[in-house]
């Protein structure tokens, strides 16, 4: 990443830059277990390379006291190459007839503009708005690597298109008192060609493109839907009753919906999988470097669906995390700190995923970790 900034005529802050990323990903795994042989019968090798390059230019313009305008644009180039998927018979070494082999190289260009406005209406109130477009290239994992969780099979898709987002938001920041601050934001986004795991069929039997699916299993494939919408409200409140104490609360309402899916009409009107509608967090912090710094945070995550058809529901949960730290002097070091963290303090059991035949994966149990941080 390379970035350049310069103040021009006291009214313009220009920023320009570029970033490059090269990714090489490969999976080597055995698949298709045979009860008769007591071993896997296939060996799969899949992967490829990606090169992503972007260039951007931004101007933060102050036309008058209290006003700030941001205009920005970004150009992205995405290339996918040297991609393949080969499956061989593990016993004989012969390439299976259904092995896709090599995939064609691909490249895409995308331009993403952004316009934002900030107005300091009073010393207590600021109003803001923005309009933007975005771009996300499908990953090597989504394009080329199939995977299986028990009897649920998810196939890759080398023909995926990039996701393209258009959206906007409006919001306000308000200082009620010197120690009480609030923020409220409403947002609206639409995504063109979102990548979704689409259900193709249920076992037992042969379901394209997964092949044989056992009883209780399901076949899914990554596909682009036509359009989805995400809209909601985000609120935050911060209160500092004393110098060393801070209390914060935040809430996110996230309403997601599949707007258009001509090839999967059953999905229209459904919620997007693995996105909870309600989330909130409460945090209390005590800062005393001479003694100890303490923070306690509680997080609530509302119910959500594991699958695109909204048939596998994951329940809501609330977990509490604790963090302790204390700065310590260390010779020759800019800063030193001892820390101790406890995640899921009350050892709550909660669902994070579920298969079609009822196998539930739970989240991390009580986890304690600590250590020493040094900054040079």
- How do residues 108-135 score in pLDDT, each as one tens digit? 999 999 999 999 999 999 999 999 999 9
Task: Report residue 117: phi and psi, to 5°.
Answer: -130, 135
Residue 206 Ramachandran class (φ > 0 left, ψ -120 to 50 alpha, else beta)? beta
What is the band of 358 on the pLDDT scale with cuts at 50, 70, 90? confident
pTM value is 0.87
Contact 153, 219 (CB under 8 A): yes
CA distance 343 to 318: 12
Is residue 323 pLDDT above 90, yes or no?
A: yes
Percentage of the chain beyond pLDDT 90 is: 85
- How do residues 255-290 score in pLDDT, each as one tens digit? 999 999 999 999 999 999 999 999 999 999 999 999
pLDDT at 329: 87
pLDDT at 376: 87
Task: Report residue 141: phi and psi, to 5°.
Answer: -60, -45
CA distance 290 to 326: 8
Q: What is the number of other CB atoms lying within 10 angstroms of the CB of residue 7?
A: 10
pLDDT at 211: 87
pLDDT at 24: 96
CA torsion sign for 308, 309, 314, 315 is positive
- How do residues 31-47 score in pLDDT, each as one tens digit? 888 888 888 888 999 99
CA distance 285 to 291: 14
Contact 24, 51 (CB under 8 A): no
Calculate the alpha carbon distances from 146 to 30, 63, 86, 221, 222 in Å. Answer: 12, 53, 12, 9, 9
Is residue 345 pLDDT above 90, yes or no?
A: yes
pLDDT at 309: 95
The three-state (H, E, C) secondary structure of the chain, written as one string: CEEEEEEECCCEEEEEEEEEEEEEEEEEEEEEEECCCCEEEEEEEEEEEEEEEEEEEEEEECCCCCEEEEEEEEEEEEEEEEEEEEEEECCCCCECCCCCEECCCEEEEEEEEEEEEEEECCCCEEEEEEEEEEEECCCHHHHHCCEEECCEEEECCCCCCCEEEEEEEEEEEEEEECCEEEEEEEEEEEEECCEEEEEEEECCEEECCCEEECCCCEEEEEEECCEEEEEEEEEEEEEEEECCEEEEEEEEEEEEEEEECCCCHHHCCCCCCCCCCEEEEEEEEECCCCCCEEEEEEEEECCEECCCCCCCEECCEEEEEEEEEEEECCCCCCEEEEEEEEECCCCCCCEEEECCCCCEEECCCCEEEEEEEEEC
- Pick from 217, 257, 254, 219: which is nearest to 235 by CA? 254
Is residue 100 pLDDT above 90, yes or no?
A: no
pLDDT at 339: 97
- How do residues 178-225 score in pLDDT, each as one tens digit? 999 999 999 999 999 999 999 999 999 999 998 889 888 999 999 999
Q: Given the DSSP bridges, would you call strands 205-207 and 163-177 parallel, antiparallel or unpaired?
A: unpaired
Q: How far is CA 319 from the centre of its chain?
A: 20
pLDDT at 91: 86
- How do residues 139-185 score in pLDDT, each as one tens digit? 999 999 999 888 899 999 999 999 999 999 999 999 999 999 999 99
Token pair belonging to 114: 């952004």
């Amino acid at each position: 990443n390379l970035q350049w900034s310069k103040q021009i005529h006291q009214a313009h802050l220009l920023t320009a830059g570029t970033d490059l990323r090269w990714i090489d990903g490969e999976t080597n795994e055995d698949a298709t277990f045979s009860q008769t042989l007591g071993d896997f019968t296939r060996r799969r090798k899949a992967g490829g390379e990606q090169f992503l390059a972007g260039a951007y230019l931004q101007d933060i313009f102050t036309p008058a006291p209290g006003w700030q305008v941001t205009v920005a644009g970004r150009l992205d180039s995405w290339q996918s190459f040297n991609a393949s998927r080969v499956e061989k018979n593990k016993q004989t070494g012969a390439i299976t007839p259904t092995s896709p082999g090599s995939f064609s190289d691909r490249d895409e260009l995308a331009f993403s503009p952004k316009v934002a406005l900030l107005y300091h209406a009073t010393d207590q109130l600021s109003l803001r708005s923005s309009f933007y477009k975005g771009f996300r290239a499908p990953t090597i994992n989504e394009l080329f690597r199939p995977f299986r969780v028990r009897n649920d099979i998810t196939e890759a898709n080398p023909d995926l298109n990039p996701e393209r987002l258009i959206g906007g938001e409006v919001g306000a920041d308000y200082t009620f008192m010197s120690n009480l601050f609030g923020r409220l934001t409403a947002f609206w986004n639409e995504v063109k060609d979102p990548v979704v795991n689409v259900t193709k069929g249920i076992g037992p039997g042969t379901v394209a493109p997964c092949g044989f699916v056992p009883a209780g299993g399901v076949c899914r494939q990554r596909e682009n839907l036509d359009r989805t919408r995400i809209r909601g409200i985000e609120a935050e409140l911060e209160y500092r009753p004393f110098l060393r104490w801070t209390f914060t609360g935040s809430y996110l309402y996230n309403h997601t919906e599949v707007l258009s899916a001509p090839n999967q009409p059953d999905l229209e009107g459904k919620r997007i999988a693995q996105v909870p509608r309600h989330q909130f967090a409460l945090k209390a912090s005590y800062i005393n470097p001479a003694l100890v710094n303490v923070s306690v945070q509680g997080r609530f995550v509302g119910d959500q669906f594991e699958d695109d058809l909204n048939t596998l529901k994951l329940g809501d949960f609330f977990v509490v995390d604790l963090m302790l730290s204390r700065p310590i002097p260390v010779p020759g070091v800019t800063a030193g700190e001892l820390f101790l963290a406890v995640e899921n303090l009350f050892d709550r059991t909660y669902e994070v995923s579920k298969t079609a035949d009822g196998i539930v994966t739970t989240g991390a149990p009580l986890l304690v970790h600590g250590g020493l941080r040094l900054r040079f």
